[in-house]
A = this chain, B = another copy of it.
């Protein structure tokens, strides 16, 4: 076929998709109902004689600021830190990140000479493509974002090291170290070590380490991730890292358990303020989770069931892209071994058009640009694919739509 014929055929196919009246939502990394069903025991595992903690604490009542001792012990294992380095929070790790940033702005952090809001312009390193909600936190606080290129080993550390050594107004960096959102890569040991060891001009530099996909493997032999807390301690920078995690994509996305881990020095400072903010998080939900998991093996067993549901969805995205696009030079994509996303790159300048065309055909994708600070992808090429919520068949259809849109947008731009 001629190029003209190929384009006409793609347009006809696109019109046929539009005529189908599709309505598929792939905007966010929402678990599917079948995944939520895996944790339904949470709904019923407490009863009228089962509301006490191991030490006799009535979990219905006030108290226990930093979480039940058994919850701190369990989630310390999960995050690979010491129990006294963990605070068990509410239902959203984003809330813990936002509040950590708020406290730094209003009060500073250990090592700071003053609150960040009193230090003039504050800047933050944003490896991108990255997570839009991270960038939103910076935007909300008026923190200037500096985009750092993501490599397949993690952030471009040459650039990171150069910047933080020279500029004391750079106060931190966002990191999703395992199955990075959206590229799916896991940070190499060298990157973790470099982050822990690098000299920073700011004495109050912080790594916001969002280990959201800590155990969210799609393979049986996951690549290990170096322990950032150990690396920071070994480098003499124990206060450098705040680690965040949650069970949002292990149990219930909207009713899970969020976690903050940090050095005892950082936690003491955080708790000085958190103790003014709340009397404690929902301990009954902590009990529910402990009963449901039993132990770390129990948690890992749940994750294997998630993988059984998720893997065919990821595979279908990749299969359609291979079938439709592998023989072309129109796009490239990640093939992640875990997490919630596939990162798709069109030719420069086309992501916005592809997302808009897909939406017109009834396939809602994460907005083009969302994976970059201020929602502006400088090359307008990155699209985040979220395969978790739709069915495998819906994904087949949705990715065919996206592939067709890519072809049309690419070929039209050649004309």
Q: Which residues of A contact B (CB under 8 A)?
A: 28, 30-31, 33, 36-37, 39-40, 43-44, 46-48, 50-51, 58-64, 90-92, 94-95, 98-99, 102, 105-106, 117, 133, 136-137, 139-141, 248, 252-255, 273, 276-285
Cα A28 to Cα B61 with chains together (Å): 12
Are A252 and B60 interface neighbours, CB within 8 A? yes
**Please, which residues of chain B bring their CB within 8 A of the CB of A284?**
43, 252, 254-255
**Please, which residues of chain B bring their CB within 8 A of the CB of A94?**
277-279
Cα A70 to Cα B99 with chains together (Å): 28
Are A106 and B102 interface neighbours, CB within 8 A? yes
**Please, which residues of chain B bring their CB within 8 A of the CB of A276?**
98, 133, 136-137, 139-140
* Minimum C-beta distance from A17 to chain B (A): 26
Chain B minimum-CB-distance residue to A115: B117
* Minimum C-beta distance from A87 to chain B (A): 14
**Please, which residues of chain B bring their CB within 8 A of the CB of A62?**
28, 30, 248, 253-254
Across the interface, A254 reaches (CB within 8 A) one of B33, B61, B92, B139, namely B61
6 A-B pairs with least C-beta separation: A98-B277, A60-B252, A140-B276, A36-B60, A62-B253, A255-B284
Are A273 and B46 interface neighbours, CB within 8 A? no
**Please, which residues of chain B bring their CB within 8 A of the CB of A43?**
46-48, 50-51, 284
**Please, which residues of chain B bring their CB within 8 A of the CB of A92?**
278-280
Across the interface, A282 reaches (CB within 8 A) one of B44, B91, B102, B283, namely B91
Chain B minimum-CB-distance residue to A103: B102
* Minimum C-beta distance from A53 to chain B (A): 11
Are B141 and A61 interface neighbours, CB within 8 A? no
Across the interface, A280 reaches (CB within 8 A) one of B254, B280, B281, namely B254
14 contacts between A and B (CB under 8 A): A33-B61, A36-B58, A37-B48, A40-B51, A44-B44, A44-B46, A44-B48, A59-B254, A60-B253, A60-B254, A92-B280, A137-B277, A255-B282, A282-B285
* Minimum C-beta distance from A133 to chain B (A): 7
Given contacts A58-B33, A106-B117, A282-B90, contact A254 B63 (CB under 8 A): yes
With a 10 A CB-CB cut-off, give which of A58, A60, A276 has the most chain B CB atoms. Answer: A60
**Please, which residues of chain B bring their CB within 8 A of the CB of A248?**
62
Are B36 and A277 interface neighbours, CB within 8 A? no
Are B278 and A254 interface neighbours, CB within 8 A? no
* Minimum C-beta distance from A267 to chain B (A): 17
Given contacts A46-B43, A90-B282, A276-B133, contact A252 B61 (CB under 8 A): yes
Known: A95-B278, A252-B284, A254-B280. 10 other contacts (CB 8 A): A28-B62, A33-B58, A43-B284, A61-B254, A90-B91, A98-B277, A102-B102, A102-B106, A254-B283, A254-B284
**Please, which residues of chain B bring their CB within 8 A of the CB of A51?**
40, 43
Are B59 and A255 interface neighbours, CB within 8 A? yes
**Please, which residues of chain B bring their CB within 8 A of the CB of A141?**
106
Are B60 and A255 interface neighbours, CB within 8 A? yes
Chain B minimum-CB-distance residue to A37: B48
Given contacts A43-B48, A276-B133, contact A255 B285 (CB under 8 A): yes
**Please, which residues of chain B bring their CB within 8 A of the CB of A254?**
59-64, 279-280, 282-284
Across the interface, A30 reaches (CB within 8 A) one of B61, B90, B95, B273, namely B61
